[in-house]
Structure 1
Amino acid sequence: MKHQPFRGDPRPSHSHAYDKVAVIGAGSWGTALAATLARAGVATRIWGRDGEVVDTINRRSENARHLPTIALPPRLRAVHDLSSALQGAEAALIVVPSGSIRTVARQVAEHAPKGIPIAVCAKGIEAETGLLMTQVAEEELPGHVVGCVSGPTFARETAMGHPTAATVAFPFAYADRLRPDDSPAARLAMSLSTESFRAYVSDDLVGVEIGGAVKNVIAIACGMMTGAGFAENTRAALITRGLDEMKSLAEALGGRRETVTGLSGIGDLTLTCSSPTSRNMALGMQLGQRVPREQCFDGKPVVVEGEANARSVTDLARRLSVEMPICEAVRAILHDGADLGTTFAALWARPIEAEPKAMDLSFSHPASDSAIQQFAERFS
């Protein structure tokens, strides 16, 4: 008999939310997730490094630095001590920039209750190792099952209660498949679900995480072309072909293409590539307008995850022999000093290919010279 993939019971089951969850990181996304948990009735403590941010959350129920004017649930408590945040927690979310995941996970390991599930809510690939964020956390958190939360989510809209959906992904052990309602993924999804926040469950961490890492790079590309004056056709082409790059890398690592067409893949990609609310898109737009990198964001030191991702994603793709021409173009511009116009001209003038990879066709572009000339004139 042909093996059937695990689908769970088609009837709704009754998973139970966690009673107490710690959120490690009081930036905009950490605060939005903590507010969502608190509104769902979960006893939530959020840890922050900045004493002023912690104090403002407790005194005014507002994170004035990262989410100004948004009222937070009064029951949400902020702490400056990591052990206090984690004391008695049944689960934890680590919500810090990708470059800080290893350090913070190591600190969490010292205080987290034994064996609690921990979800990483950062998107990227570690530059030195090529590891996904959950893999980085797993190295620092032995004895804990590590998952992630990802999807098309702007923090401010989430905190304001706009209808939002995201994916909660964890490994499914044998026991989890027998009782999926007791799995960490299901219980955390229940903990996050409110009248406005809808969580989905996945067991494909690779597919979910690759979507979150690659979309940042594609968003910079979309921003560059938008800033240069191109419009919707160009952005749609970059999103669609960027999705194909995302699928190819996920598959090479054992992820599923189906996952990449979900919330954490095409959903997040579409959101991030469609609005300057995304710092990745905003950076690209400024670069497309020929603003020097050091002058972008009015010279403020804004962290843009896609900058580091452009290098780490393409390093990993090269190691796996996966072609990612859009990501390579962004890397060349950001890190190798390549000219923006010349680089995108070369991208558009690449050989004509079949969209179904199985056809395995390639022809010289008949208008490559004029394509290069058009881009040169546009960016001159």
Structure 2
Amino acid sequence: MNKIAMIGAGSWGTALALLLTRKGIPVALWDRDADHVARLATDRENRRYQPGHPFPDNLRVTASLAEAVEDAECVVMVVPSHGFRAVYREVFPLLPEGALMVSAVKGIEIDSGMTMTQIMQAESGETKHLHFGVLSGPSFAAEVAERQPTAITVAFADTQAAATVQRLFSTEYFRAYTSCDVIGLEISAAMKNVIAIAAGICDGLNYGLNTRAALITRGLAEITRLGVAMGGEPQTFAGLGGLGDLVLTCTGNLSRNRTVGLKLGSGKSLEQALSEMKMVAEGVKTTKSCYKLAADLRVEMPILEQMHQILYHDKRCQDAVVELFQRDLKREADMVCR
């Protein structure tokens, strides 16, 4: 491709921009913060989020959306979910006909309960023939920037668009698989951050590996129930963007959401925990949006419910664990026992 626009110069946006430009593909990396962009341009690396990785010559930084999006065949959205709609409204009028729109954001909009591709579709209407998809999977940004072998999934309803983006991102150390289950991949990406905060809480409470394994497994069951209710395919949740990303985020020391949980489990308030973070932990806001979504769809999600109580109603972490274990006993899955 002649040019890619990367909308968001945080840790993940920078890692993806490095991935593509190292492959020889020109990228325009945009950020709203003009001071941040000026530092990127001067330093020729992102010392705030990805230090030690110099920018290739074909990586250009800009604070102008028009400059970033002009003539871009593919636009990758990497901005926090709570500001996604506002940024996309500015991006949309600048998009060329037929552009590939890739969301690399893991969240759900609180007020609407929409995923990021749903927001783009709603804001775009029928005036341009755009392709909307998502890129997700077990991928810490720091390790991608370090060229650590990584596998992810790209989902588009249009199989040709999925294949194009698959080829675009695949390198000798970054492997992309394709899927047509956009909504399933987005729900997995969003909800795994909620479960990762819960995993961090368990670790902060000094619970053992038994607890973590149970949480991940039952968390996956909840993610699958919500995703299927939204129209996702069950097999998606056992894949890279489901189980793979969930395990990574619940166990890895680079996980921002697990880090928030660790702080909560050790006795800190949510305000204290977030004040000590320099990057956004999407799971905090996603807990609120998915809680509302589950209630609207009447999907049973006991771990999510307890996380909502902890984050937004000051419930003690220990009390939430006790309440989960005192629920009515039931079968593990809906199946016929003979």
Question: Does the C-alpha gap of structure 1 residues 193 and 301 become closer, same or farther in structure 2, counting only changes over 3 Å?
Answer: closer
Q: Tell me, what secondary structure is at the counterpart of 1:338?
A: coil
Residue identity in the other structure for 1:168: V
Residue identity in the other structure for 1:154: F
Q: State percent identity of aligned pairs.
A: 42
Q: Tell me, in whole angstroms, the C-alpha distance in 1 between the residues paired with 2:270 and 2:31.
A: 29
Listed as ranges, the matches of 1:145-294 within 5 Å are 145-172=131-158, 176=159, 183-294=160-271
Listed as ranges, the matches of 1:360-379 within 5 Å are none
Offset at residue 57 of structure 1 (A):
3.4
Question: Does the C-alpha gap of structure 1 residues 54 and 125 become closer, same or farther in structure 2, counting only changes over 3 Å?
Answer: same
- Structure 2 unaligned residues grouped into runs of 5+: none
On the 8 A contact 1:23/1:34 being kept in 2, the answer is yes
- Structure 1 unaligned residues grouped into runs of 5+: 1-17, 177-182, 361-380
On the 8 A contact 2:25/2:58 being kept in 1, the answer is no
Listed as ranges, the matches of 1:81-100 within 5 Å are 81-100=64-83
The aligned residue for residue 55 of structure 2 is 72
Q: Tell me, in whole angstroms, the C-alpha distance in 2 between the residues paired with 1:324 and 1:190.
A: 37
The aligned residue for residue 12 of structure 1 is none
Greater gyration radius:
1
TM-score w.r.t. length of structure 1 = 0.84
On the 8 A contact 1:40/1:191 being kept in 2, the answer is no
Offset at residue 266 of structure 1 (A):
0.6
Q: What's the CA shift string for 1:302-332, capped at 9, x where partnerless?
A: 5321111111112111111111111111111
Q: Tell me, in whole angstroms, the C-alpha distance in 2 between the residues paired with 1:302 and 1:162.
A: 21
Offset at residue 198 of structure 1 (A):
0.8
Residue identity in the other structure for 1:159: A
Root-mean-square deviation (CA), in Å? 1.6
Q: Tell me, what secondary structure is at the counterpart of 1:199?
A: strand
The aligned residue for residue 58 of structure 1 is 41
TM-score w.r.t. length of structure 2 = 0.94
Q: Tell me, in whole angstroms, the C-alpha distance in 2 between the residues paired with 1:303 and 1:45.
A: 23
The aligned residue for residue 136 of structure 1 is 119
The aligned residue for residue 310 of structure 1 is 287
Q: How many corresponding residue pairs? A: 334
- Alignment partner of 1:35 is 2:18: yes
1:122 to 101, 105, 120: 105
Offset at residue 29 of structure 1 (A):
0.4
